[in-house]
Structure formats: structure tokens, C-alpha cells
Chains A and B, each alone.
Chain A
């Protein structure tokens, strides 16, 4: 045989082999793209492994992307190399859905009935009967605290029941007790040095909307009017909420200002580290912190947020999970999608990273126990998280408001930064920002019953 013929033959053989592989059910290769902390990475990889174990012939490649998720996903979309299943920041997910880049999951709700029993705010609709995904988990905002800091200050810990939530004034006065400078002085004592604070009483973000949206609603204010076309941040009740947040830093001096917690730039240490080192005694942060709290063995407690009038917390504080339309194995990808959100198979709920989206996990005692009766969920979890989320959760703006990304980067974030730096009172800043936000508003996203 001549060399050229031999080459041609071997080429054909390789081609045949490749085709054979393609047809074999043993070779469904899926990609799952996600973000998260290092502890989270381990947990998600374990979940993907258990999918592989229970679905013969399916292989899942994990694309862990802790930083610049939107930038990287955008690049993958531009080059046509999207993963099969993954997290999608909600700022992008609605756009990608409208562009046809995400699979409409509505037809699959009958095949996977567990997906049909979700909390209604979990569904991400982009039109009638058009469902591009769900919020990956039902996360809410909580008041985390260091038990020993509370004990040292000799105060009662933040209540774990919504009905007994602290008022804002109670929060402030307790934060005074918890704020200590290098000489052991509190902010209301003479000689207190605000530049040398050893332990801050409270940290509650001004620039992160999920952290203050519950306060806003609790004070009878809201971000937008009913039509979702007019911004209401210039209302007196809204201004009060932001002025109070600014006052925590500059008037009461019980909260860190910009840069005061950061070791490097915006990389503020995680809530677990802040509480463990007692740099801060109480932190407003999401439920997902539970995993890192347990992993780093923090002596923490969970309280509900302080209230103005009715107690509220922001819920559905998560990214979207979705199936990408470019997937070669859409059916298998949807199967992975349904699997990765199912507390029956996935231990991310028991580990404390996620809260389930299915309604029964908040209403049915056995179902509640199935994810909360374990070592990673402290005794107060039932009232401070399960009941709190069910009865006092108000869904995050990201699952509801259109054009939020442009609103955020063009107007809202700069305005909130101005409040955070303390140069001007909240009223001035918000009265300027509200009309600019209004001009960028495009209404609410579509909502419907399943």
C-alpha cells in the first residue's frame, strides 16, 4: 500500500471512530458553568458527580468561574461556545432569553413536576408561557452576629423571630455597645477614636440593593411605582432609610465606611471572616453565608433584620439557573437542570448554601426537616430563616424590574456611592437620582401563574 493511501485510510478510520462516539449513548458531555466561594465549589462539584453517578453515560464538566462571570459568559456567547447548563446573572439572563439563547423551560414543567411547585417569585418569565429559568435558590438577607461579641457587650442577641425584630433605634443603640476602638471606648464616650476602631457594631451595605430593599419595604417605601415606570427613591420614607444607613457610618460611627474593611480594594473579607475575627459584630448578609460560617467554624448566630413598620427581608437574592439553547443535548441538559435544583439529590441545601424553591419545603413539616434538621442549621433557623422567608420575604428587584443593569451602572450605583462616602445627605442625592432612574425604567418583567 502506498503511503498516501495509508494516510487516507487512517483518516477515514478516525472519522468513523468519531462518528461512532457521537452516536453512542455513553458519551453525553455536558458543561455546567457556575460561580461561588471555594467551599461552594467543592459542594457544587459533588453535586455534579452525583448526577454522573445516577445518570449512566452522562459526563459533566464543571466550569468554575469565580470572577468576572458576566464578562466571561458574554465572551462565550459572542463566540458561540456556551455551556449547556449554568448560572446566569439576572442582568444578562433576560437579555439572553429574548435573544433565544436560553431554552424555554415552560414545556418541561409537566415532565418535571417538582419544577412546577416553586414559589411564584422564583420563576423568570420573559413572556407569556416563556420561562427562561428560575432563581437558583431562594436566598434571603439576615442579620448575622458573633455570639461572643454579643456576650462581651452584655446585650440580648438580635431576635430570631420576625414578630420580635428590633426597631431601627434598638439596632443603633445595640450597635453602640458593640463598637469598640483600640482603647476599649464606645462611640458615645469621650475620646473615642473613629480612625482606630477595633470592632464595628454593624455592617450593612449601601451599594448592594438586596441589603436595603427589605428596609425600604419595611418603612412603607418602594423602589418603583405599580407600573414599574417611576422611581420612588425620592419619597421621604425611602430617604429616611438611606439617611439612617449613612448615619450608621458618619453620625453614630458604629459601621465601617468605604475602604475600612477592605484589605485589598473591593475584596472585603467574607462575613464568616468578619465575624470570626470580630472585626464586625453584626453583618447584614445573605443566607448563603451559612455554608462558609460552618466551614470556617464561626461562633455565629442568626437574627432577623431590624424593622421599621412591618418586618421585611429581601428574598430571591440569587442568580438565574438556565439551560442554554446551543446545547447539543437539550433533553439531558434539562435533566441536569432539574437535578441540580432538587433537594432530594443535592446536599447544597443541607450544607446551608441554598434554600429550596419548592413551596413544600416551607410548609410541610417533614419537608422542612429534610433540609434543616442537621448540624449545619442552628436551632433558630426555623424562625429566623424558614418562617421569615415564607411570611416576610419581598422578592429582589433583579427578578422583577426591567433594564436594571443600565439603571444600576448609569445612575443607582454612583448615587449610592455618594451616600456611602458621606459627602452629601441622602435626600439631596436621591432627589437628583430618582428622575434619572425613572427615565431609564421600562416596567416590570412578565409574571404569571404556572
Chain B
């Protein structure tokens, strides 16, 4: 079919407009990914010449105690941070979906922590967790409760960071809020007509209608928390005794401190595969509990 002038023009400009995005992806994402895949098959220290070792780095990983340690620390963090963030964000979104006075102000307040730059946030929490003069222990002491060592204690470090991560639930909350506003009113009315109370409305309308949003936030949360880095980098340097040796921090340390680029690339690919696998499993499992109003619209 011959294209007329207008359509040819549009086609050409369409491509042209898309070029920056495509180039950005190819140069800064796809290219480095391919490079790191190749590098992961080599023994390469910065400054040296890469030597091909096949799957050597990957087999070495299996015997690397710190690899397993970092994987378990990260999994621990994900298993804690994601559910807590989902529950808190959902609860606050429910509250902010009520018709109360000063609603925009409340919404702003709850969203504000998200706007704090990552490092400023971390520095603030270092102070909050300080065993001697931090906010948390001061409050506990005033309440006559035992104070903790928080991020300076091997067993408390990851739970402390989970608490801290919850603080930045603003984005998740906004998405929930949008979802809540999309729940059709007539369903609530139907429950009321049948004599149902608030619990029934929540259990039989809100939750089922929100499952796609919950699912979305779950997937995004899992992917994000598997890549947790700032806290380990700025607050704990992976300590104490490797308690917070998160995967990406370990990868960073291997790559840029020990300059083991080949090994670090292998670490990166293993993490990528883990995230792909977990996401795949989540989607498989989603069929059982996620409800889409328009069946087949997925």
C-alpha cells in the first residue's frame, strides 16, 4: 500500500522523535548489559586484561560465603520491608480516602518524606537510631522502656532498616489512593443495601477491587527492595558483622573497591535472574488472587 505524503511524514517524524529514547536505552542500558554479560565470563580486574574463564565466576559464587550471606540479608530485608510498606501505605491511603477536613494538607504531610533526598533521609535516620542521643532511644527512655542499639546491633540492624524504609511509603500510598478512588460506588451501595457494615464493604469490595493495585505495588516493591543499596553504603557499610551486607552493596564493593569486575558482573547477572524468576512466580501466582474487573484486559 502506498503511503500518502502525510503518513510518510508522520512515520519519519515518529521514528525521529523516538530516537533519543531508543539511543538512550541502547547506549546506557542494553549496551552495558551485554558488556557485563560478556565480562561475567572473564576474570577481569580494573587495569588488567580480561581472561576468559567461562562459567568460572558463577561456579565460584556457589562457594562464596558472602554471596549467600548477602543474598539472605537482602531476602530478609525484602520479606520485611515489602509487606510492611504495603500494609502501612494501604492503611494510610484508606484514611486519606475519607472525607475529612484539610485533606490536601494530610496528603501532603504523608507524602513529604518521599521528597526527602535519599542521602538526607539516611543521615536523618542515623541520628534517629543513634544509641546515645538519637530520637528513638530518647523516647524509649522517657517512656521507661529499654533502649536498643538499632543499626549497631547485628540482630537489630535489618529490622531497623525495614522500619526506616516504611517511612518513604508516599509513592505506594498515592498509587493505592488512585486505586481506591476507582472502586465503583455502586458496589458499596449494594453491600449497604444487603445490610453489610464497614467490614463487609472492606472485605468484599475494597480488597477484591484493589488486588490489581496491590499486585502492582508488590511487584514494584520486590524489585526495588532487592536492589537496596543506600542504607548499607551510607549507614552501616554492610556491618555489623555483615548483617546488612545487601546484595547490591556487595556487588559494588567487589566491583569498585576490590576491582573484581568480572566477578561483580556475574553477581549482577545472578541478581537479574533472581528478580526475573521472582517476578515470574509472582505473576503466575497472581492468577489465583488478583481480580480484574474486565476479564481478559490484562
Residues of A within 8 A of B (CB): 70-71, 74-75, 77-78, 92, 95-96, 99, 101, 195-197, 257-260, 262-266, 405-406, 409-410, 413-415, 417-418, 420-421, 423
CA distance A259 to B156 in the complex (A): 14
Provide the residues of chain B in CB contact with A260, threshold 8 Å: 131-132
Q: Which of B42-50, B52-60, B80-88, B196-204 contacts A (4 or more CB under 8 A)?
A: B42-50
Map CB proximity to A onto B223-236 as digits: 1 under 8 Å, 0 otherwise: 00000000000111
Once the chains bind, are A420 and B240 in contact (CB under 8 Å)? yes
* Chain B nearest Cβ from A419, distance in angstroms: 9
CA distance A211 to B252 in the complex (A): 27
* Chain B nearest Cβ from A404, distance in angstroms: 11
Map CB proximity to A onto B214-258 as digits: 1 under 8 Å, 0 otherwise: 000000000000000000001111011110000000000100111
Q: Which of B109-117, B147-155, B174-182, B285-293 contacts A (4 or more CB under 8 A)?
A: B147-155
CA distance A77 to B45 in the complex (A): 10
Once the chains bind, are B241 and A414 in contact (CB under 8 Å)? yes
A selection of 27 A-B contacts at a CB cut-off of 8 Å is: A70-B256, A70-B257, A71-B256, A71-B257, A74-B256, A74-B257, A77-B259, A95-B47, A195-B131, A195-B132, A195-B147, A197-B132, A258-B152, A259-B129, A259-B152, A260-B132, A262-B130, A265-B122, A265-B234, A265-B235, A409-B253, A409-B257, A417-B241, A420-B240, A421-B149, A421-B153, A421-B240
Provide the residues of chain B in CB contact with A406, threshold 8 Å: 258
Provide the residues of chain B in CB contact with A264, threshold 8 Å: 123, 126-127
CB contact between B46 and one of A77, A257, A414 (< 8 Å): that residue: A77
Provide the residues of chain B in CB contact with A423, threshold 8 Å: 154
Provide the residues of chain A in CB contact with B237, threshold 8 Å: 266
Q: Does B66 contact A (CB under 8 A)?
A: yes
Number of interface residues of B (CB under 8 A): 35
Once the chains bind, are A96 and B47 in contact (CB under 8 Å)? yes
Residue of B nearest to A207 (CB): B239
CB contact between A265 and one of B45, B126, B253 (< 8 Å): that residue: B126
Given A265-B126, A265-B235, A95 and B241 touching (CB < 8 A)? no
Provide the residues of chain A in CB contact with B242, threshold 8 Å: 414
* Chain B nearest Cβ from A99, distance in angstroms: 4
Provide the residues of chain B in CB contact with A257, threshold 8 Å: 131, 152
CA distance A266 to B242 in the complex (A): 15
Once the chains bind, are A74 and B259 in contact (CB under 8 Å)? yes
Once the chains bind, are B259 and A92 in contact (CB under 8 Å)? yes
